[in-house]
Amino acid sequence: MLRLLPEPGSIAYFGPPMSDPKAELMARLRAFEGKASSEPQTARFPVNVPMIEHWCDAMGDRNPAYLDAEWAAASPRGQMIAPPTMLQAWVMPGLRRWRDRPGAGSAVGSILRVLDEAGFTSVVATNCEQEYQRELVPGDVLRTSVTIEHVSDEKQTALGTGHFVTQHYSFRDQSDEVVATMRFRMLKFRPPEASAATPAPKPARPRPRPGITHDNRFFWDGVRAGKLLIQRCAACGRLRHPPGPMCPGCRSLEWDTLESAGRGEVYSYVLHYHPQIPPFEPGHPVALVALDEGTRLVADLVGVEPEEVHVGMRVQVEFNAVDDELILPQFRPLTP
């Protein structure tokens, strides 16, 4: 089972010079063995049905022993139980608690820092074994105490050189009976040289580029100049978008452009979720905008929450650089 670990800190070691750094380090690490890892944790909530149901949803587990009170009542157990593998879920402190909790005093915080200082800056959870003394049922309130059981000698692993740190958890119920135990092992290791350097941040995947032809170049040139241009037939004055070489009304090949005031309304819109296509965010709003001049165009909306978009919403164009090379016309709600 994976669990969240606090980000390893990096505090410099100001102690006396050490003659044999490895032996010295091992002695310091061994001193943690048998110590309590941290303050005992009490579950934030008793074992309860809603959390069991969420867990089963996430795991795709439809076992009626966890979900169907009627079925469970008629079963040999006579009541619903919690999935045994939820054990650790009951005492997880939650994300905010991790941040708020003062880690400095805890033994596990200290041992991680000692290993950081020695260059073993990376961490990975390697195994987790659980033993169950009894099944948990709704209403049970768990409390856990954790000790540092063992710190290994320096080991060579596929990930790099490091030390395994094993913690032993015991889970007790409201009557102080041990209901389960867990052994959780992590590897603190020195990342290999090749990957030690911070990799260059991957460039965000750029948006697809417009397809520019002789027929529509004026539009994209206009966008770069901060203008929303609409093609206009020079013979009959008809506006058209998307542009083309010939007026479908009078078949004239002559045209010029009209600069739109850039105001209009949302004629229709969508919110894109799947598949997730970077760099677009889930819920990305794209509108079919009816310009006041009479033509429509598709563009995305900015400055609006997805759930606020509606048909008929008044919008105003703006020209935004979405990356180093591409400027797009986008629309923002007009404030009355």
Partner 1 sequence: MRFRSELANRTAIVGIGATEFSKDSGRSEMSLAVECIAAALDDAGLAPEDVDGMAAYTIENNPDAEITRNLGIPGLRFFGRTHYGGGAACATVLQAAMAVVAGVADVVVCYRAMNERSQQRFGTGVQRLSPQPTAESAHFGWYAPFGLLTPAAWVAMFARRYMHEFGVSSDDFGRISVADRKHAATNPAAWFYGQPITLEDHRASRWIVDPLRLLDCCQESDGGVAVVVTSAERARDLRRPPVLVRAAAQAMAEDQHMMTSYYRDDITGLPEMGLVARQLWETSGLTPADVQTAVVYDHFTPFVLVQLEEFGFCGRGEAKDFVKNANLELGGGLPINTHGGQLGEAYIHGMNGIAEGVRQVRGTGVNQVPDVENVLVTAGTGVPTSGILLGRA
CB of 253 to Zn ion, least distance (A): 10
CB of 222 to partner 1, least distance (A): 14
Q: Which of 79, 82, 77, 80 is nearest to 51 (CA)?
A: 82
CB of 256 to Zn ion, least distance (A): 12
CB closer to Zn ion out of 249 and 303: 249
CB closer to partner 1 out of 31 and 290: 290
CB closer to Zn ion out of 107 and 230: 230
Angle at 179 between CA 174 and CA 185, to 5 degrees: 120
CA distances from 322 to 7, 100, 286, 300, 319 (A): 33, 37, 15, 11, 9
Site residues (vs Zn ion, CB under 5 A): 233, 235-236, 238, 247, 249-250, 252
* Residue 249 binding partner per list Zn ion, partner 1, none, with a CB distance cut-off of 5 to 8 Å that depends on partner kind: Zn ion
CB closer to partner 1 out of 74 and 270: 270
* Residue 164 binding partner per list partner 1, Zn ion, none, with a CB distance cut-off of 5 to 8 Å that depends on partner kind: none
How many C-beta neighbours within 10 Å does residue 317 have? 22
* Residue 302 binding partner per list Zn ion, partner 1, none, with a CB distance cut-off of 5 to 8 Å that depends on partner kind: none
Site residues (vs partner 1, CB under 8 A): 207-216, 241-242, 248, 267-275, 277, 280, 283-284, 286, 288, 295-300, 306, 311, 322, 326, 328, 330
CB of 213 to partner 1, least distance (A): 4
Q: Which of 238, 157, 218, 143 is nearest to 192 (CA)?
A: 157
Query: Tokens in use for 52?
Result: 């069991």
CB closer to partner 1 out of 39 and 281: 281
Q: Which residue has the tokens 């033509």?
A: 295
CB of 275 to partner 1, least distance (A): 6
Using a 10 angstrom Cβ sphere, with 0-12 exposed, 13-18 middle and 19 or more buried, the burial of residue 202 is: exposed
Q: Which of 109, 91, 107, 325 is nearest to 223 (CA)?
A: 325
